[in-house]
Amino acid sequence: MLVDSHCHLDRVDLDPYDGDFARLMQTTRAAGVARLLCVAIDLERYPAMRALIEPFPEVSVSVGVHPNERDVHEPSADELVALAGDPRVVAIGETGLDYYRSTGDPGWQQQRFRRHIAAARTARRPLIVHSRAARADTIRILAEERAGEVGGVLHCFTEDWETARQALDLGFHISFSGIVTFKAADELREVARRVPLDRLLIETDSPYLAPVPHRGRSNEPRYVAAVADCLAGLRGLAPDALAAATGENFFRLFERVPRVLPGEAAPS
């Protein structure tokens, strides 16, 4: 079973599907992608995103505000907890820190991050963490706010092994996107070899960061197979074994995702 553990389905280019989201989902299923986690970036677009995925029980959602989002509604921890009461909401995020695109005092990002962690601990939902050019502060705040009580994932991981090790020590998973397939990503591939198999996830981050051999196109969930193939090769595994392991990790971390959907056969 292939799982796309992080995508933004409401932002995927539907032009190849004549604007028909259901056709995108049919193609995704045909490619063997059985579960998807559609991740929120802000709350303004969240209701439309939630409505979009409603007919598709294989899609779960998260709720949160991305660290790069400015001039948007700033949710309280209580508001995030209330939204997490929806059974389709299986995580809080994406949240975290991104100093790469920000200037000035990062305090506002850090406070937002802390509120999301507080909400996750209250709602008992894992965190989806974005970290770019902020590795030390990301790990420090996760530790200070006791984020390990709920765990989560450092998504689209691009940092060094030491950062991965510290996140693993806090109980977090590490997820790799199409970046791991890029020609210049040798150091990242070395990190991907070292992450314990039971803490590994795969994702597309659609519509961004399409993997080789699809680089340069708008990304979509079916391309998660290229990420799985790359990691399988790095670790000396068959692609099906890598897909099975990362799928199991996904269900264990996001425990509210149903393992069996209506009309599906139970796993043997």
63, pLDDT greater than 80 = yes
268, pLDDT greater than 70 = no
196, pLDDT greater than 80 = yes
pLDDT tens column, 219-236: 999 999 999 999 999 999
Nearest to 203 by CA among 39, 15, 63, 55: 39
- Which residues, 6+ apart, have CB-to-CB distance to 97 below 8 Å? 67, 106, 109, 110, 113, 130, 131, 132, 134, 137, 138, 141
| CB-CB contact of 206 with 220 (8 Å) | yes
CATH of 2-14+39-253 among 3.20.20.140, 1.10.1740.10, 3.30.565.10, 3.30.1510.10: 3.20.20.140
User: Cα–Cα distances in Å, from 160 out to 157, 180, 247?
Assistant: 9, 13, 24
Summarize the confidence of residues 53-78 as an average pLDDT: 96
pLDDT tens column, 4-45: 999 999 999 999 999 999 999 999 999 999 999 999 999 999
Domain ranges of the chain: 2-14+39-253
241, pLDDT greater than 80 = yes
Which segment of 66-75, 95-104, 154-163 scores lowest on mean pLDDT?
95-104
pLDDT tens column, 41-52: 999 999 999 999
